[in-house]
Amino acid sequence: MITPKTIAPYGTWPSPITARMIAETSISLAGVLVDDSDIYWLEGRPSEGGRVVLVRQTVEGPEEVLPAGYSARSLVHEYGGGAAIVSAGTVFFVNFDDQRIYKIERGCLPFAVTPDSGDRHADICHDLVRDRLVCVRERHTAADVVNELIAIDPETGDDTVLVAGYDFVSNPRLSPDGSMLGWVSWELPDMPWDSATLWVAPVLEDGAIGEAQRIAGGDGVSVFQPLWASDGSLLFSADPDGWWNLHRWDGGRVSCIHPAEAEFGLPQWVFGMRTTDIDANGVIAAAYTCNGIWSLARIDGRGTQVFDVPYTDIAAPQWVDGKIVFIGSSARLASAVILFDPESGATDVLRTALRVDVDPDYFSVPESIRFDTADGATAYGFYYPPQSKTHDAGTDECPPLIVRGHGGPTGATSPSFSLAIQYWTSRGFAVLDVNYRGSTGFGRAYREELYGRWGEADVDDMVHGAQHLVAAGRADPARLAIRGGSAGGYTALSALAFRNTFSAGASLYGIGDLMTLARDTHKFESRYLDFLIGPLPETEALYRARSPIAHVDALNCPVIFLQGSDDNVVPPNQAEAMVDALDGKGIPVAYVLFDGEGHGFRKAENVCRALESELAFYGRVFAFAPADALPNLNIRNL
């Protein structure tokens, strides 16, 4: 018998998906490591203050490798990544608190390999021939930040500089016989997805690096994830034709091995990112994306086989004993470490990011949409309608809509299962997750449509996406909210300052002042705005024209700001300046500062508080009463 649903206004529906559930019962899966037949992965745990733990799969199930008090997280480029490797049973990892590299041998406690110097490390490679580590070191001095590749003796901690003189370096990778070192470099003002060069050089008898040879990339071409094959050839992704396609260097020439209008690469915001692996027989396992949907394929001398797997987001594929391990998710399947047998098609879930059972009847299934936007262009997104097992609006009323902008802004959204989205839809909100112009996954041309137009093209796409749904009768024009974090926060604030479409907004560590960002940001992004806005000082007027902080007189709707006190990417003074400006105008504004948090919230109590504060904010400004018991929120001028 079908139980009739309770009729209640949108936004007031009770939901089993709570903020505490998201904060305390879910984890983030940050990467997969394979050592011979052993499978490891990194998982971030909000319930442990954002600690990142290395876990090993055993016959009895997952086993923690890092003891309490250690967290595998790098701070190179501020965003980190590439914080752990496992080689012949030995673990090397970067500990968050001191950024030193530690070593763990099976059954032993960690001990420090590098000195307590304040240097940061990432992207570790084990040189088995010489029993040394090769990695990226970032050294902060009073005058500069220096990035270079170094070799470290894991017994003494002594280090030697191998590669220097570039603004940035990544992906140190040794050939199977240890005779060649490959790496990637790029120079300011480029970001690695703009122009990055792949180099190889011989490793000399004394361990030093010989004369480097440029293999690919540079001059407006980006390379991604070099990977040595057992035959001594080098596999990598590059985009000379506008798409990150797979290429191979055979020691003499470079050839494209799989041309397609699809992306086999990613914007390298963090170290250790990977989309491909190659086995001892030269067979490639590859993840690639087309129009926001990821697929898994095998590529060999016979051609390409795309596997039928129930996942639309696939990351970090690697071979292990003839099977492929990867991180996968879909609209109804939470992110998980998956072991896939390409012969039988069988999948085995080793670890899931969601550790609670929720009735799937509460889950909203996204619909992929494309819509016309400004300048005759097309933008993309995923629409999530309100969904509850027990409640319905029961009228012709249209739901409130939250339009989400991803960070980056070269990031991308996919239809992966997200409790953070289901939190809203299960309460009666509709959600539009937008891949605005500038997003990755649609080729270089789409990504570069944002260049020179940040704060305009992305804003147009968010606005047109909301208007598209209003015209289709799928969103209430009087209750349109926009939210975003970091760069997505800037897009949200710009939409509120320069357009009149939205009636509320939420900025999570978002950018309000472009000149302050250009002045205060870290080395990795220090020239990023040259492309997104224009070079300084020539275009300073444009920076001010596009800064929401300079146009608070145009803001006429409530905004909530959620900010970490220790954010070095977008410092708190930006949020506070916006708050003061709105407060001075008498516009309702809320400000929640999270002590000890950086660029993004990792502690369970803060993840929970941020979600509940945002829900309380929408409830009060849209005049509905959420079913949840929410904390008191100070909204000035309301």
Provide the CATH number for the domain around residue 165.
Answer: 2.120.10.30
CB 537 within 8 A of CB 569: no
> Which region among 196-200, 236-240, 403-407, 467-471 has the lowest average model confidence (pLDDT)?
403-407
Count of the separate structural domains present in the chain? 2
Strands (E) in 84-196, as ranges, are 84-87, 90-94, 101-104, 111-112, 120-127, 132-140, 145-152, 159-163, 168-174, 180-186
Which of 219, 248, 282 lies at the terminal end of a domain, its last residue? Answer: 282
- For strand 504-508 and strand 480-485, is the pairing parallel, antiparallel, or unpaired? parallel
Tens digits of residue pLDDT in 362-417: 999 999 999 999 999 999 999 999 999 999 998 888 999 999 999 889 999 999 89
Average pLDDT over residues 296-319: 95
Average pLDDT over residues 281-298: 95
The pLDDT value recorded for residue 1 is 58
Decide if 328 is inside a domain: no
Instruction: List residues bridging with 504 in a β-sheet.
Output: 481
pLDDT band at 306, cuts 50/70/90? very high
**Mean pLDDT in residue range 611-627:** 96
β-partners of residue 94 are: 101
Is the domain of 238 the same as that of 107?
Answer: yes
Q: What does the pLDDT read at residue 553?
A: 81
Give the separation between CA 165 and CA 215, rounded to whole angstroms.
18
pLDDT tier at 336, thresholds 50, 70, 90 = very high
**Is the predicted pLDDT of residue 424 greater than 70, yes or no?**
yes
Q: Report the C-alpha gap between 44 and 50 in whole angstroms.
A: 6
Question: Are residues 368 and 259 located together in one domain of the fold?
Answer: no
Band of residue 316 on the pLDDT scale cut at 50, 70, 90: very high
* pLDDT (average), residues 233-244: 98
Handedness of CA 7, 12, 16, 17 (dihedral sign): positive
Q: Residue 208 pLDDT more than 70? A: yes
Average pLDDT, the chain: 94
pLDDT of residue 219: 94
For 83-137, write each residue's pLDDT tens digit: 999 999 999 999 999 999 999 998 889 999 999 999 999 999 999 999 999 999 9
More confident residue, 209 or 22: 209
Task: Give the pair of three-digit tokens for residue 555.
Answer: 């803001």
How would you label 73-108 residue by residue, b for 16+ Cβ within 10 Å and e otherwise?
bbbbbbbbbbbbbbbeeebbbbbbebbbbbbbeeee
Judged by DSSP in three states, 22 sits in helix
- For 418, the token pair is 């997200």
Considering the domain boundaries, does residue 409 fall inside one?
Answer: yes
- Give the separation between CA 175 and CA 202, rounded to whole angstroms: 10
Collapsing DSSP to helix, strand or coil, 467 comes out as: helix
Written as one letter, the residue type at 361 is: D
Q: In what order do the strands lie in the sheet with 293-300?
A: 276-278, 284-290, 293-300, 303-306
Q: Which domain holds residue 71?
A: 36-282
What is the reported pLDDT for 407? 86
Quick one: average pLDDT of 433-437?
Answer: 97
Is residue 104 assigned to a domain?
yes
Write b or e for each residue in 3-31: b if 16 or more Cβ atoms lie within 10 A of its Cβ, otherwise e. eeeeebbbbbbebebbbebbbbbbbebbb
pLDDT at 25 > cutoff 80: no
Please check whether residue 316 lies inside any domain of the structure. Answer: no
**Same domain (yes/no): 61, 193:** yes
pTM confidence score: 0.92
* DSSP states along 236-298: EEE-TTSS-EEEEE-SS-EEEEE--SSBS----SSBT--SEEE-TTSPEEEEEEETTEEEEEE
- Domain of 374, CATH number, reads 3.40.50.1820
Point out the domain boundary residue: 282, 301, 319. 282
Domain for residue 30, yes or no? no
H helices present in 499-631, as ranges:
514-520, 528-532, 540-545, 572-585, 604-621
The whole-number average pLDDT for the span 243-263 is: 96
Q: What DSSP letter does each residue of 393-436 carry, written as one string?
A: --SSPPPPEEEEE-STTT----S---HHHHHHHTTT-EEEEEE-
**H-run or E-run covering 633:** none
Indicate whether 345 belongs to any domain.
no
Is a pLDDT exceeding 70 seen at residue 529? yes
Pure H helices in 94-167: none
Asked if 164 and 57 sit in the same domain, the reply is: yes
- Identify the three-state secondary structure at position 152: strand
Domain co-membership, 214 together with 114 = yes
Q: Does 560 lie in the same domain as 437?
A: yes
The single residue listed with the structure tokens 């409130």 is 400
Q: What is the model's pLDDT at position 520?
A: 82
Contact (CB, 8 A) for 235 and 278? yes
Please check the confidence at residue 3 and state whether its pLDDT lies above 80. no
- Do both 278 and 370 map to the same domain? no
Q: Are residues 60 and 187 in the same domain?
A: yes
- Rounded to whole angstroms, how far apart are CA atoms 185 and 447? 21
Q: Are residues 82 and 214 in the same domain?
A: yes
Residue 293 within a domain: no
Tell whether the model's pLDDT for residue 39 goes beyond 80.
Answer: yes
Residue 379 sits in the same domain as residue 271? no
625: Cα separation from own chain's centroid:
33
What percentage of the chain reaches a pLDDT higher than 90? 84
Task: Give me the phi and psi of 577, to 5 degrees please.
Answer: -65, -40
DSSP 8-state assignment for residue 384: E
Which among 225, 253, 282 is the end of a domain?
282
Residue 302 belongs to some domain of the structure? no
Q: How confident is the model at residue 274 (pLDDT cuts 50, 70, 90)?
A: very high
- pLDDT on residue 222: 98
Percent of the chain with pLDDT over 70: 100
Going by C-beta distance under 8 Å and a sequence separation of 6 or more, which residues neighbour residue 355? 25, 26, 27
* CA atoms of 475 and 8, how far apart (whole Å): 17
Q: Do 263 and 373 lie in a common domain?
A: no
Q: Is the pLDDT of residue 496 over 80?
A: yes
pLDDT for position 71: 97
Identify whether residues 248 and 379 lie together within a single domain: no
174 in Cβ contact with 180 (< 8 Å): yes
pLDDT level of residue 573 (50, 70, 90 thresholds): confident
One-letter amino acid for residue 165 of the chain: G
